Amino acid sequence: MLRSEVRKTSINLNEVYTSIQGEGLLLGTPSLFIRVQGCNLRCPWCDQPSALSFRDSPVRLDDLLELVETYPHKHVVITGGEPFTEEALPELVKELIKRGKSLQIETNGTLWQEALEGTAHKVHITCSPKAVANWEVHPKIREYARELKFVVDESLSLEVLFSFKDFLQKGCVVLQPEGNKGHFLERALNLQNQLLSLGYQVRVIPQVHKLLGLK
C-alpha cells in the first residue's frame, strides 16, 4: 500500500459547533463547523489564536464522524486554523461526502494535498489569500476554489485584487472588512466602487455571525 493510501485515523481537532455560515457567498446556511488545530501562517489579526498551534492529543476520526451523525445539519464547514495542515483532511472529506454532506473548506490557500485530487471538485472551497503569505495561492487551490474571500485591511489593494483577475471575471470575490471595523468597511466599499467602474462586480460582506452575536 502506498503511504498516501494509509488511512489516517486521528485528527487534530479544536472544536465542533453549530451556527450559521456568517461569511462569504454561502452566508446564512445552517452549518456544522469542524475546526481543526494548526496553521502554517500567523496573521496579525487572526481571530482564532487558540487554533494555531498543534495539540498533542488528536481525536479518533471515527469518534468525530460519529459526533457529526448526531447533528441534523447537511452543510459541514471544515475550518481552522488551516485545514490543509491536517493529514486526515482527505479521509475526513471522503467520509463526509459518503454520508451525503455538502462540504465547505475554508483555507488560506497556501497548501494542497494530492489525495484530494478526486474529491476537491465536490467541495465548496473558500480561499482567503493572506498578506503574510504574499497573497500566494497554490495552483491547485486556484483551480478548485469556488470563492475568494479577502479580509480588507490596509494591505489589500486594487493591484492585489487584479492578480486574481480570473476570479474577478467569474464574479466570486468577496471583500470582508477586518473585524467589521468602520474604516475597513469604507475601504472595502471604495475598492468595490473602483472595481465596478472597471466592469467587475464584487460583494462586500461583513462577518454577519459576529454582528448577530452568534459564534
* CB atoms closer than 10 angstroms to residue 156: 21
Residues that bind ligand SF4 (CB under 6 A): 39, 41-43, 46, 48, 52, 80-82, 108, 130
Which triple of cell numbers denotes residue 22?
A: 456568517
Identity of the residue, 41 or 97, whose beta carbon is nearer to ligand SF4 in the bound complex? 41
Residue 43 beta carbon to ligand SF4: minimum distance, rounded to whole angstroms? 3
156, 131 contact by CB (below 8 A):
yes
184: which DSSP letter?
H
Identity of the residue, 23 or 82, whose beta carbon is nearer to ligand SF4 in the bound complex? 82
By residue count, the chain amounts to 215
Residue 125 beta carbon to ligand SF4: minimum distance, rounded to whole angstroms? 14
Residue 135 beta carbon to ligand SF4: minimum distance, rounded to whole angstroms? 12
Q: Which of 124, 199, 133 is closest to 160 using CA atoms?
A: 133
Identity of the residue, 133 or 208, whose beta carbon is nearer to ligand SF4 in the bound complex? 133
Identity of the residue, 153 or 195, whose beta carbon is nearer to ligand SF4 in the bound complex? 153
Identity of the residue, 42 or 60, whose beta carbon is nearer to ligand SF4 in the bound complex? 42
Which triple of cell numbers denotes residue 213?
A: 452575536
Q: How far is CA 86 from the centre of its chain?
A: 14
Residue 99 beta carbon to ligand SF4: minimum distance, rounded to whole angstroms? 26
Residue 128 beta carbon to ligand SF4: minimum distance, rounded to whole angstroms? 7
> DSSP H helical segments within 4-157, as ranges?
61-69, 89-98, 139-144
CB neighbour list of residue 36: distance below 8 Å, 6 or more residues apart: 11, 12, 13, 14, 51, 78, 79, 80, 81, 82, 83, 85, 86, 89
- Give backbone dihedrals phi and psi of 99, rounded to 5 degrees, phi first: -90, 10
Q: Which of 5, 26, 25, 3 is closest to 94 using CA atoms?
A: 5
Residue 162 beta carbon to ligand SF4: minimum distance, rounded to whole angstroms? 22
